[in-house]
Structure 1
Amino acid sequence: MDKQQLDKLEKDVTQNIQEGDIIFISIDSFLYRQVAKGTGSWTSHVGFIVREYNEWFVLESAVPKVTRCPLRKFLARTTHNEVSVMRVKEGLTPSQVDKLKHAAAEKMGRYYHLGFKYDSKRQFCSKFVHLTFKEALGIEIGKVQTLEVLLQENPQASVNFWRCWYLGFVPWQRKTITPASQLNDPKLVPVYTQC
Protein backbone atom coordinates (compact mmCIF):
# COMPACT_ATOMS: atom_id res chain seq x y z
CA MET A 1 0.00 0.00 0.00
CA ASP A 2 1.29 3.45 -0.81
CA LYS A 3 1.78 6.30 1.70
CA GLN A 4 -1.50 8.00 0.82
CA GLN A 5 -3.49 4.79 1.34
CA LEU A 6 -1.69 4.14 4.62
CA ASP A 7 -2.33 7.73 5.80
CA LYS A 8 -6.05 7.33 5.11
CA LEU A 9 -6.24 3.91 6.73
CA GLU A 10 -4.42 5.10 9.83
CA LYS A 11 -6.68 8.17 10.10
CA ASP A 12 -9.86 6.08 9.68
CA VAL A 13 -8.76 3.53 12.27
CA THR A 14 -7.56 6.03 14.89
CA GLN A 15 -10.87 7.93 14.72
CA ASN A 16 -12.67 4.84 16.00
CA ILE A 17 -10.38 3.02 18.43
CA GLN A 18 -10.00 2.77 22.20
CA GLU A 19 -7.41 1.04 24.34
CA GLY A 20 -8.07 -2.67 24.60
CA ASP A 21 -9.64 -2.96 21.15
CA ILE A 22 -8.59 -6.08 19.26
CA ILE A 23 -7.23 -5.53 15.75
CA PHE A 24 -7.12 -8.07 12.92
CA ILE A 25 -5.11 -7.89 9.70
CA SER A 26 -4.17 -10.15 6.78
CA ILE A 27 -0.47 -10.78 6.24
CA ASP A 28 0.71 -11.67 2.74
CA SER A 29 3.11 -14.54 3.36
CA PHE A 30 2.73 -18.20 2.51
CA LEU A 31 2.30 -19.35 6.13
CA TYR A 32 -0.20 -16.64 7.03
CA ARG A 33 -2.21 -17.26 3.84
CA GLN A 34 -2.47 -20.93 4.87
CA VAL A 35 -3.64 -19.88 8.35
CA ALA A 36 -6.41 -17.76 6.79
CA LYS A 37 -7.37 -20.44 4.26
CA GLY A 38 -7.34 -23.13 6.93
CA THR A 39 -9.84 -21.18 9.03
CA GLY A 40 -12.08 -20.03 6.18
CA SER A 41 -11.32 -16.39 6.93
CA TRP A 42 -9.51 -13.42 5.46
CA THR A 43 -7.64 -12.68 8.71
CA SER A 44 -4.33 -14.25 9.68
CA HIS A 45 -2.97 -12.01 12.46
CA VAL A 46 -4.28 -10.31 15.59
CA GLY A 47 -3.12 -8.05 18.42
CA PHE A 48 -4.67 -5.47 20.72
CA ILE A 49 -4.40 -1.70 20.89
CA VAL A 50 -2.92 0.46 23.63
CA ARG A 51 -1.96 4.12 23.91
CA GLU A 52 1.42 5.00 25.36
CA TYR A 53 3.52 8.16 25.17
CA ASN A 54 0.55 9.78 23.39
CA GLU A 55 0.90 7.27 20.50
CA TRP A 56 -1.13 4.23 19.44
CA PHE A 57 0.56 0.82 19.57
CA VAL A 58 -0.43 -2.79 18.97
CA LEU A 59 0.73 -5.41 21.44
CA GLU A 60 1.26 -8.60 19.48
CA SER A 61 3.01 -11.93 19.30
CA ALA A 62 4.86 -11.86 16.00
CA VAL A 63 7.91 -13.69 14.73
CA PRO A 64 10.24 -13.83 16.60
CA LYS A 65 8.63 -12.66 19.89
CA VAL A 66 5.96 -10.69 21.75
CA THR A 67 6.46 -7.00 21.10
CA ARG A 68 4.94 -3.51 20.98
CA CYS A 69 4.44 -2.29 17.42
CA PRO A 70 3.45 1.25 16.37
CA LEU A 71 -0.10 1.12 14.98
CA ARG A 72 0.96 2.61 11.64
CA LYS A 73 3.64 -0.04 11.16
CA PHE A 74 1.12 -2.77 12.10
CA LEU A 75 -1.41 -1.44 9.56
CA ALA A 76 1.28 -1.23 6.86
CA ARG A 77 1.70 -5.02 7.05
CA THR A 78 -1.88 -5.81 6.02
CA THR A 79 -2.85 -7.01 2.55
CA HIS A 80 -5.34 -5.03 0.41
CA ASN A 81 -5.99 -2.64 3.35
CA GLU A 82 -7.84 -5.48 5.15
CA VAL A 83 -8.42 -4.48 8.76
CA SER A 84 -11.03 -5.15 11.40
CA VAL A 85 -11.17 -3.67 14.90
CA MET A 86 -13.37 -5.35 17.49
CA ARG A 87 -14.28 -4.36 21.05
CA VAL A 88 -15.50 -6.29 24.08
CA LYS A 89 -19.28 -5.62 24.08
CA GLU A 90 -19.39 -3.95 27.49
CA GLY A 91 -16.30 -1.84 26.75
CA LEU A 92 -13.31 -1.67 29.07
CA THR A 93 -12.69 0.59 32.06
CA PRO A 94 -9.30 2.31 32.56
CA SER A 95 -8.64 -0.20 35.38
CA GLN A 96 -9.29 -3.13 33.02
CA VAL A 97 -6.97 -1.62 30.40
CA ASP A 98 -4.25 -1.31 33.06
CA LYS A 99 -4.73 -4.99 33.95
CA LEU A 100 -4.42 -5.93 30.26
CA LYS A 101 -1.20 -3.96 29.94
CA HIS A 102 0.23 -5.59 33.05
CA ALA A 103 -0.65 -9.11 31.84
CA ALA A 104 0.86 -8.33 28.42
CA ALA A 105 4.04 -6.92 29.98
CA GLU A 106 4.68 -10.27 31.64
CA LYS A 107 4.73 -11.90 28.19
CA MET A 108 6.94 -9.33 26.44
CA GLY A 109 9.94 -10.91 24.77
CA ARG A 110 8.53 -14.47 24.82
CA TYR A 111 9.38 -16.32 21.65
CA TYR A 112 6.91 -17.28 18.93
CA HIS A 113 5.67 -20.87 18.62
CA LEU A 114 5.73 -21.80 14.93
CA GLY A 115 3.85 -25.02 15.73
CA PHE A 116 0.89 -23.03 17.17
CA LYS A 117 0.90 -25.07 20.39
CA TYR A 118 -1.45 -23.56 22.95
CA ASP A 119 0.03 -25.60 25.82
CA SER A 120 3.49 -24.05 25.60
CA LYS A 121 5.32 -21.13 27.23
CA ARG A 122 5.91 -19.74 23.76
CA GLN A 123 3.29 -17.48 22.21
CA PHE A 124 1.58 -16.92 18.88
CA CYS A 125 -0.75 -14.07 17.97
CA SER A 126 -4.17 -15.47 18.86
CA LYS A 127 -2.86 -17.28 21.94
CA PHE A 128 -1.28 -14.06 23.20
CA VAL A 129 -4.58 -12.17 22.87
CA HIS A 130 -6.58 -15.05 24.38
CA LEU A 131 -4.31 -15.53 27.40
CA THR A 132 -3.87 -11.83 28.09
CA PHE A 133 -7.62 -11.15 28.18
CA LYS A 134 -8.27 -14.34 30.15
CA GLU A 135 -5.59 -13.68 32.77
CA ALA A 136 -6.31 -9.96 33.13
CA LEU A 137 -10.09 -9.85 32.83
CA GLY A 138 -11.42 -13.41 32.92
CA ILE A 139 -12.70 -12.99 29.33
CA GLU A 140 -11.92 -15.77 26.87
CA ILE A 141 -11.73 -14.42 23.33
CA GLY A 142 -11.88 -17.13 20.65
CA LYS A 143 -12.12 -20.89 20.81
CA VAL A 144 -9.37 -23.27 21.93
CA GLN A 145 -9.64 -26.52 19.98
CA THR A 146 -7.53 -29.38 18.69
CA LEU A 147 -6.00 -29.29 15.25
CA GLU A 148 -8.16 -32.30 14.40
CA VAL A 149 -11.41 -30.45 15.17
CA LEU A 150 -10.17 -27.27 13.50
CA LEU A 151 -9.37 -29.08 10.25
CA GLN A 152 -12.64 -31.06 10.39
CA GLU A 153 -14.58 -27.81 10.70
CA ASN A 154 -12.64 -26.31 7.77
CA PRO A 155 -12.56 -28.83 4.91
CA GLN A 156 -11.07 -26.17 2.60
CA ALA A 157 -7.83 -26.30 4.63
CA SER A 158 -4.81 -27.89 2.99
CA VAL A 159 -4.04 -30.93 5.12
CA ASN A 160 -1.05 -31.60 2.88
CA PHE A 161 0.39 -28.19 3.76
CA TRP A 162 0.00 -28.86 7.48
CA ARG A 163 1.47 -32.34 7.07
CA CYS A 164 4.55 -30.74 5.50
CA TRP A 165 4.61 -27.96 8.10
CA TYR A 166 4.69 -30.53 10.89
CA LEU A 167 7.37 -32.59 9.10
CA GLY A 168 5.03 -35.38 8.04
CA PHE A 169 2.97 -35.85 11.19
CA VAL A 170 0.14 -33.47 12.10
CA PRO A 171 -0.20 -33.43 15.93
CA TRP A 172 -3.97 -33.92 15.71
CA GLN A 173 -4.63 -33.58 19.46
CA ARG A 174 -2.57 -30.40 19.83
CA LYS A 175 -4.68 -27.55 21.18
CA THR A 176 -4.56 -24.24 19.33
CA ILE A 177 -6.59 -21.07 18.77
CA THR A 178 -7.07 -18.97 15.63
CA PRO A 179 -7.57 -15.29 14.77
CA ALA A 180 -10.75 -16.31 12.88
CA SER A 181 -12.35 -17.77 16.02
CA GLN A 182 -11.61 -14.47 17.77
CA LEU A 183 -12.92 -12.29 14.95
CA ASN A 184 -16.20 -14.23 15.10
CA ASP A 185 -16.49 -14.32 18.90
CA PRO A 186 -19.95 -13.07 19.97
CA LYS A 187 -18.39 -11.34 22.99
CA LEU A 188 -16.97 -8.76 20.56
CA VAL A 189 -18.64 -6.03 18.52
CA PRO A 190 -17.21 -4.36 15.39
CA VAL A 191 -15.68 -0.90 15.71
CA TYR A 192 -14.08 -0.55 12.28
CA THR A 193 -14.00 -2.91 9.31
CA GLN A 194 -12.44 -2.68 5.89
CA CYS A 195 -12.02 -6.02 4.16
Structure 2
Amino acid sequence: MSKEQEKYTTCDRCGARILEKSALEVDGLTLCGDCVVKQTKKEVAQAAKIATERKAEQYEAQRKALSTQRNKRALIALVVTLLVFAAAQWFMAQNKPQPVQTASIDFNKDLDSSYSLIVVALDKYVATNGKLPPSLNELLNGYIPYPVATAFHHFKYKRVSNDSYELEIAAKKITTLKTEGNNESAANK
Protein backbone atom coordinates (compact mmCIF):
# COMPACT_ATOMS: atom_id res chain seq x y z
CA MET A 1 0.00 0.00 0.00
CA SER A 2 1.15 3.44 -0.57
CA LYS A 3 1.15 6.35 1.73
CA GLU A 4 -1.50 8.02 -0.23
CA GLN A 5 -4.02 5.31 0.26
CA GLU A 6 -3.64 5.11 4.03
CA LYS A 7 -6.01 7.23 6.02
CA TYR A 8 -4.86 9.29 8.97
CA THR A 9 -6.73 10.63 11.92
CA THR A 10 -5.76 12.70 14.93
CA CYS A 11 -5.72 11.63 18.58
CA ASP A 12 -8.53 13.36 20.47
CA ARG A 13 -6.37 13.68 23.56
CA CYS A 14 -2.87 14.65 22.44
CA GLY A 15 -3.61 15.79 18.84
CA ALA A 16 -0.99 13.49 17.29
CA ARG A 17 -1.52 12.25 13.76
CA ILE A 18 -2.00 8.49 13.64
CA LEU A 19 -3.05 5.87 11.15
CA GLU A 20 -6.72 5.23 11.31
CA LYS A 21 -6.21 1.50 11.68
CA SER A 22 -3.81 2.11 14.63
CA ALA A 23 -6.23 4.37 16.44
CA LEU A 24 -8.16 2.97 19.37
CA GLU A 25 -11.57 4.11 20.42
CA VAL A 26 -11.97 4.40 24.20
CA ASP A 27 -15.10 5.88 25.77
CA GLY A 28 -16.06 7.45 22.44
CA LEU A 29 -12.64 9.08 21.96
CA THR A 30 -10.11 8.20 19.28
CA LEU A 31 -6.77 7.75 20.98
CA CYS A 32 -3.23 6.92 19.99
CA GLY A 33 -1.32 4.03 21.60
CA ASP A 34 0.61 6.34 23.94
CA CYS A 35 -2.57 7.95 25.27
CA VAL A 36 -4.18 4.53 25.75
CA VAL A 37 -1.12 3.41 27.77
CA LYS A 38 -1.25 6.64 29.84
CA GLN A 39 -4.98 6.17 30.46
CA THR A 40 -4.44 2.53 31.38
CA LYS A 41 -1.67 3.51 33.81
CA LYS A 42 -3.98 6.09 35.38
CA GLU A 43 -6.75 3.51 35.68
CA VAL A 44 -4.35 0.94 37.15
CA ALA A 45 -3.04 3.54 39.64
CA GLN A 46 -6.61 4.51 40.50
CA ALA A 47 -7.59 0.85 40.96
CA ALA A 48 -4.50 0.25 43.11
CA LYS A 49 -5.35 3.30 45.21
CA ILE A 50 -8.94 2.11 45.63
CA ALA A 51 -7.72 -1.41 46.51
CA THR A 52 -5.27 0.02 49.07
CA GLU A 53 -8.00 2.16 50.59
CA ARG A 54 -10.34 -0.83 50.77
CA LYS A 55 -7.62 -2.95 52.40
CA ALA A 56 -6.97 -0.15 54.89
CA GLU A 57 -10.71 0.12 55.61
CA GLN A 58 -10.99 -3.66 56.05
CA TYR A 59 -7.90 -3.69 58.27
CA GLU A 60 -9.31 -0.82 60.34
CA ALA A 61 -12.68 -2.58 60.63
CA GLN A 62 -10.98 -5.82 61.75
CA ARG A 63 -8.77 -3.89 64.18
CA LYS A 64 -11.82 -2.15 65.63
CA ALA A 65 -13.66 -5.47 65.94
CA LEU A 66 -10.68 -7.06 67.71
CA SER A 67 -10.26 -3.99 69.89
CA THR A 68 -13.95 -4.09 70.80
CA GLN A 69 -13.69 -7.80 71.56
CA ARG A 70 -10.60 -7.23 73.75
CA ASN A 71 -12.31 -4.34 75.50
CA LYS A 72 -15.34 -6.54 76.20
CA ARG A 73 -13.08 -9.27 77.62
CA ALA A 74 -11.22 -6.73 79.75
CA LEU A 75 -14.50 -5.27 80.98
CA ILE A 76 -15.83 -8.73 81.83
CA ALA A 77 -12.58 -9.55 83.67
CA LEU A 78 -12.80 -6.25 85.56
CA VAL A 79 -16.44 -6.84 86.52
CA VAL A 80 -15.69 -10.41 87.64
CA THR A 81 -12.70 -9.18 89.66
CA LEU A 82 -14.81 -6.49 91.30
CA LEU A 83 -17.55 -9.00 92.09
CA VAL A 84 -15.04 -11.41 93.62
CA PHE A 85 -13.51 -8.56 95.63
CA ALA A 86 -16.95 -7.39 96.79
CA ALA A 87 -17.93 -10.96 97.73
CA ALA A 88 -14.67 -11.40 99.66
CA GLN A 89 -15.25 -8.11 101.49
CA TRP A 90 -18.83 -9.09 102.31
CA PHE A 91 -17.71 -12.53 103.48
CA MET A 92 -15.01 -11.01 105.66
CA ALA A 93 -17.50 -8.52 107.11
CA GLN A 94 -19.98 -11.31 107.86
CA ASN A 95 -17.37 -13.55 109.47
CA LYS A 96 -15.64 -10.81 111.41
CA PRO A 97 -14.89 -12.07 114.90
CA GLN A 98 -16.68 -10.41 117.73
CA PRO A 99 -14.59 -8.05 119.81
CA VAL A 100 -12.90 -9.66 122.76
CA GLN A 101 -14.94 -9.26 125.88
CA THR A 102 -13.37 -9.48 129.26
CA ALA A 103 -14.94 -11.87 131.67
CA SER A 104 -14.82 -11.47 135.38
CA ILE A 105 -14.15 -14.79 137.07
CA ASP A 106 -14.44 -15.27 140.80
CA PHE A 107 -11.82 -17.96 141.38
CA ASN A 108 -13.24 -18.63 144.87
CA LYS A 109 -16.51 -19.73 143.24
CA ASP A 110 -15.21 -21.27 140.01
CA LEU A 111 -12.97 -23.86 141.60
CA ASP A 112 -12.66 -25.97 138.45
CA SER A 113 -10.99 -23.08 136.60
CA SER A 114 -8.79 -22.40 139.61
CA TYR A 115 -7.82 -26.09 139.73
CA SER A 116 -6.85 -26.07 136.02
CA LEU A 117 -4.77 -22.91 136.41
CA ILE A 118 -2.98 -24.35 139.47
CA VAL A 119 -2.11 -27.53 137.53
CA VAL A 120 -0.69 -25.44 134.66
CA ALA A 121 1.29 -23.31 137.13
CA LEU A 122 2.70 -26.46 138.79
CA ASP A 123 3.82 -27.75 135.37
CA LYS A 124 5.55 -24.41 134.65
CA TYR A 125 7.25 -24.52 138.07
CA VAL A 126 8.56 -28.06 137.47
CA ALA A 127 9.76 -27.11 133.97
CA THR A 128 11.71 -24.17 135.40
CA ASN A 129 12.99 -25.59 138.71
CA GLY A 130 13.09 -29.33 138.05
CA LYS A 131 11.05 -30.19 141.16
CA LEU A 132 7.63 -29.47 142.63
CA PRO A 133 7.15 -26.54 145.05
CA PRO A 134 6.80 -27.31 148.78
CA SER A 135 3.56 -25.27 148.90
CA LEU A 136 1.18 -23.54 146.51
CA ASN A 137 2.39 -20.14 147.76
CA GLU A 138 5.66 -20.72 145.85
CA LEU A 139 3.64 -20.36 142.64
CA LEU A 140 3.08 -16.65 143.37
CA ASN A 141 6.61 -15.89 142.10
CA GLY A 142 5.46 -15.46 138.48
CA TYR A 143 3.79 -18.80 137.83
CA ILE A 144 0.18 -17.94 138.61
CA PRO A 145 -1.82 -14.69 138.72
CA TYR A 146 -2.69 -13.34 142.16
CA PRO A 147 -6.51 -13.64 141.76
CA VAL A 148 -6.11 -17.42 141.50
CA ALA A 149 -3.97 -17.42 144.65
CA THR A 150 -6.94 -16.10 146.63
CA ALA A 151 -8.54 -19.51 146.09
CA PHE A 152 -5.57 -21.54 147.47
CA HIS A 153 -7.39 -22.13 150.76
CA HIS A 154 -9.99 -24.21 148.86
CA PHE A 155 -7.35 -26.77 147.82
CA LYS A 156 -5.33 -29.43 149.55
CA TYR A 157 -1.84 -29.72 148.02
CA LYS A 158 0.63 -32.37 149.05
CA ARG A 159 4.02 -32.94 147.41
CA VAL A 160 4.58 -36.69 147.40
CA SER A 161 8.04 -36.50 145.77
CA ASN A 162 9.94 -34.08 143.54
CA ASP A 163 7.91 -35.17 140.54
CA SER A 164 4.52 -36.23 141.93
CA TYR A 165 1.85 -34.46 143.94
CA GLU A 166 -1.73 -34.68 145.12
CA LEU A 167 -4.09 -31.80 144.57
CA GLU A 168 -7.76 -31.90 145.49
CA ILE A 169 -10.51 -29.48 146.15
CA ALA A 170 -10.91 -29.31 149.93
CA ALA A 171 -14.22 -27.51 150.18
CA LYS A 172 -16.92 -27.91 147.62
CA LYS A 173 -19.64 -25.33 147.68
CA ILE A 174 -22.65 -26.47 149.73
CA THR A 175 -25.73 -26.33 147.60
CA THR A 176 -28.95 -25.16 149.13
CA LEU A 177 -32.09 -27.06 148.30
CA LYS A 178 -35.43 -25.47 148.84
CA THR A 179 -38.32 -27.59 149.91
CA GLU A 180 -41.94 -26.58 149.58
CA GLY A 181 -43.05 -24.25 152.34
CA ASN A 182 -39.65 -24.23 153.98
CA ASN A 183 -36.38 -22.33 153.20
CA GLU A 184 -33.92 -24.51 155.12
CA SER A 185 -30.73 -25.68 153.46
CA ALA A 186 -30.09 -29.33 152.80
CA ALA A 187 -26.93 -29.17 154.92
CA ASN A 188 -28.90 -28.16 158.02
CA LYS A 189 -31.26 -31.16 157.89
> Which of the two has greater strand per residue?
1
Question: Scaled by the length of structure 2, what TM-score is found?
Answer: 0.18
> Which of the two has greater helix per residue?
2
Pick 1 or 2: higher relative contact order, CA cutoff 8 A, min separation 6.
Answer: 1
